[in-house]
Amino acid sequence: MATMTYKGLEVLFSRQQIAERVAEMGAQITHDLKGEKLVMIGVLKGAAPFLADLSRAIEVDATFDFVATTSYGKGLRSSGAVKLIKDLDHSIEGKNVLVVEDILDTGLTLSYLRKLFLQQHPKSLRIATLLDKPSRRIEKIDADYVGFSIPNLFVIGYGMDYAERYRNLRTSVSCRRRAGVGKTGRPKEPGAG
């Protein structure tokens, strides 16, 4: 994994690296779904930039839908309390589904969503995630398409936030260096040095 410093952050993956990997993933998904129709389901909000780019790298007849989930505070995630706050607009019964996530972390969100979506009996259900943190997994779940597998780092940019900000960083996917972690264990303001 190439790293370099950028305003106090480490750039994990450059714009070009992300673009190249997204193109590869799109080509693979195109191959796997050749001649089929596809419903791409973005998990708001973090997946929005990845879905926008990935969808344009896929040469398959595709439609979009979106869901949003919440957990009862990040600190309580291990409770497994994931809640749906925006449901699908349309039924996915008999459809080929691709769930699109920015990051697969504990797996609680995608395990919850997979169970929920399978109740509708889609024709197929696949998962694409830009980032995968396998070391953090609580629920056993794997993505069919993984952009990059990463260690346990706090990541922002390209959809991922710190207190809802920085989702629109387009140059990179970045994280705080260890030295930047504040007393509370939370990262300090990105770019603060």
Q: Contact positions toward ligand PRP, by CB under 6 A?
A: 43-46, 71, 77, 101-109, 161
Indicate if 144 belongs to the active site.
no
Q: How many residues does the chain have?
A: 193
Q: Which is nearer to ligand PRP, 137 or 177 (CB)?
A: 137
DSSP-assigned states of every residue in 5-56: EETTEEEEEEHHHHHHHHHHHHHHHHHHTTT-EEEEEEEETTTHHHHHHHHT
Q: CA triplet 4, 10, 16: central angle to 5 degrees?
A: 65
Catalytic residue among 89, 105, 132, 144: 105
For the chain, where are the E strands, in sequence order?
5-6, 9-14, 37-44, 61-71, 82-86, 96-104, 124-132, 145-149, 155-156, 172-176
Q: Which is nearer to ligand PRP, 30 or 44 (CB)?
A: 44
Q: How far is the CB of 59 from ligand PRP (least distance, A)?
A: 26
Spatial separation of the C-alpha atoms in residues 93 and 45, rounded to whole Å: 24
Q: Which is nearer to ligand PRP, 60 or 143 (CB)?
A: 143
Token pair of 141, please?
């779940």
Q: Which is nearer to ligand PRP, 33 or 48 (CB)?
A: 48
45 upstream amide cis, omega within 30 of 0: yes
Catalytic residues: 105
